[in-house]
């Protein structure tokens, strides 16, 4: 019996079944081709609290102990993180001795932005052992652990953190309620928890079903997050929409009844936007996904039958959902080009497309833009090859061809 990850209700219903897929970050060596493990990838929705979530959990030790994702690979994310750091420093009057903790801080890219502002008392809690090295090289104290209540109590004084950050990790959490208890324990009386999560509403608005993969256990609206935090004496007082990651909510949280617990206009506007994202709306949207699947596969197959060469640009985890659900493999896409050297020499799981270093001397007719959430940055930096005739296929919200004549 499936229980809701948020409210523990057993009244959940299937929304979309992607079938069995490999873990999205299980990039393969040549020796492991065809030996990847498959897990159910099924999206369900709780009828009581309307939290979208996966029905099956791949063990966190499989997904997060070692991986190849580095947040510092894109300048778009760097600017976003710096803007967030400046905003929080100004809004909350952060001082140099204030403790700032980043949950799942990856290679320390977000915390580096706080250090740039003179806020050096920073700690990164990162589960991937291989990624911790990159954080420590930046001079950031880094704890290699899964964050939960036990980790908080073992490593921090109660009420010691002036600011706790969780950018793009809150939907990864298997021990969701233990994590919230850990945040409650660590947060100072006047402290703020900043949580950034990919918005379920934006997934519907932008047709981004590729954000559904095994690492993303939950898909939140603002009201979902409010309902999760409230039983633990934590309250969202500010929130706003951001275009980052194809649509996210940045919410600011404090102790219930605390000095900061006054709702902003941004909070009220975001909560109003939430109202249309109900179970009925989710069911309506996901009925269109299979139609899109057939459309994209047919479009790429037609290009291939015309003798066109197609590469994929970027090898993000979300790209594997798109490729595998739409039955796009190495018979259609010749290679994936990447700038992240941790992924070079590997193959995409299930599709078995090789990952190679980006080479502007080796150009296809078309790039399928798997890293479409950074489309603007990628297209801007590749205008030179577009002048040579290369076109980008931007898959969402609908299939769009971008060439030299219509690039922004």
Q: Which residue has the higher pLDDT, 246 or 34?
A: 34
Domain C-terminal end among 257, 283, 309: 283
Q: 154 and 134 in one domain?
A: yes
Residue 274 lies in a domain: yes
Q: 336 and 301 in one domain?
A: yes
The overall average pLDDT reported for the chain is 91
Say what the pTM is. 0.88
Residue 160 lies in a domain: yes
The yes-or-no verdict on residue 266 having pLDDT over 70 is yes
The yes-or-no verdict on residue 1 having pLDDT over 80 is no
Identify the pLDDT of residue 408.
Answer: 62
Residue 23 lies in a domain: no
The yes-or-no verdict on residue 166 having pLDDT over 90 is yes
* Residue 284 buriedness (CB in 10 A; 0-12 / 13-18 / 19+): exposed
Domain count, the chain: 2
Residue 41 lies in a domain: no
Q: Which residues of 356-386 are buried (b: 16+ CB within 10 A; e: fewer)?
A: beeeeeebbebbbbbbbbbbeebbeebeebb
Q: 305 and 241 in one domain?
A: no
Q: 233 and 91 in one domain?
A: yes
pLDDT tens for 171-217 read 667 788 999 999 999 999 999 999 999 899 999 989 999 999 998 99
Q: 272 and 304 in one domain?
A: no
Q: 252 and 205 in one domain?
A: yes
* Residue 307 buriedness (CB in 10 A; 0-12 / 13-18 / 19+): exposed
The yes-or-no verdict on residue 261 having pLDDT over 90 is no
Residue 110 lies in a domain: yes
Token pair belonging to 353:
């497309």
Identify the pLDDT of residue 69.
Answer: 64
Domain C-terminal end among 283, 309, 330: 283
CATH number reported for the structural domain that contains residue 261 in this entry = 3.40.50.150
* Residue 189 buriedness (CB in 10 A; 0-12 / 13-18 / 19+): exposed
Q: 245 and 198 in one domain?
A: yes
DSSP class of 30: G
Q: 121 and 270 in one domain?
A: yes
Q: 300 and 166 in one domain?
A: no
Domain C-terminal end among 249, 283, 317: 283
The yes-or-no verdict on residue 259 having pLDDT over 90 is no
Give the residue numbers spanning the domain of 308.
Answer: 295-402
CATH number reported for the structural domain that contains residue 313 in this entry = 3.40.50.720
Identify the pLDDT of residue 405.
Answer: 83
Q: 300 and 278 in one domain?
A: no
Identify the pLDDT of residue 117.
Answer: 96
Q: How confident is the model at residue 155 (pLDDT cuts 50, 70, 90)?
A: very high
* Residue 95 buriedness (CB in 10 A; 0-12 / 13-18 / 19+): exposed
pLDDT tens for 106-138 read 888 899 999 999 999 999 999 888 889 989 999
Report the percentage of the chain scoring pLDDT > 70. Answer: 96
């Amino acid at each position: 019996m499936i229980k809701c990850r948020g409210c523990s209700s057993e009244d959940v219903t299937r929304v979309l079944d992607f079938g069995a897929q490999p873990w999205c970050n299980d990039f393969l060596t040549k020796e492991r081709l065809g030996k990847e493990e498959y897990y159910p990838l099924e999206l369900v929705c709780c009828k009581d609290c309307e939290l979208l979530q996966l029905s099956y959990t791949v063990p966190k030790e499989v997904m997060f102990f070692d991986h190849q994702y580095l947040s510092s690979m894109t300048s778009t994310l760097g600017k976003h993180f710096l803007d967030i750091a400046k905003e929080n420093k100004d809004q909350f009057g952060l001082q140099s001795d204030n403790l700032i903790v980043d949950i799942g801080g990856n290679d320390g890219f977000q915390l580096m932005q706080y250090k740039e502002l003179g806020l050096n008392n920073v700690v990164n809690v990162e589960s991937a052992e291989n990624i911790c090295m990159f954080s420590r090289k930046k001079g950031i104290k880094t704890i290699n652990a899964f964050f939960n209540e036990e980790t908080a109590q073992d490593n921090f004084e109660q009420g010691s953190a002036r600011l706790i950050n969780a950018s793009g990790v809150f939907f990864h959490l298997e021990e969701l309620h233990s994590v919230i208890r850990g945040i409650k324990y660590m947060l100072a009386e006047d402290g703020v928890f900043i949580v950034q999560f990919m918005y379920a509403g934006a997934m519907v608005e932008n047709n981004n079903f590729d954000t559904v993969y095994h690492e993303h256990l939950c898909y939140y609206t603002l009201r979902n997050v409010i309902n999760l935090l409230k039983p633990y004496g934590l309250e969202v007082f500010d929130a706003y929409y951001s275009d980052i990651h194809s649509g996210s909510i940045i919410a600011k949280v404090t102790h219930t009844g605390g000095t900061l617990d006054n709702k902003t206009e941004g909070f009220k506007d975001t909560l109003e936007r939430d109202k249309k994202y109900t179970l009925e709306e989710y069911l309506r949207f996901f009925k269109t996904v299979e139609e899109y699947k057939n459309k994209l596969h047919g479009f790429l197959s037609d290009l291939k039958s015309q003798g066109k060469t197609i590469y994929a640009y970027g090898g993000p985890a979300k790209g594997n959902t798109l490729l595998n659900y739409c039955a796009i493999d190495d018979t259609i896409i010749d290679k994936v080009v990447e700038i992240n050297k941790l992924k070079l020499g590997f193959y995409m799981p299930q599709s078995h497309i090789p990952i190679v270093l980006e080479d502007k001397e080796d150009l296809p007719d078309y790039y399928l833009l798997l890293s479409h959430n950074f489309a603007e940055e990628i297209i801007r930096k590749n205008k030179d090859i577009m002048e040579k005739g290369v076109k980008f296929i931007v898959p969402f919200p609908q299939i769009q061809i971008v060439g030299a004549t219509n690039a922004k």
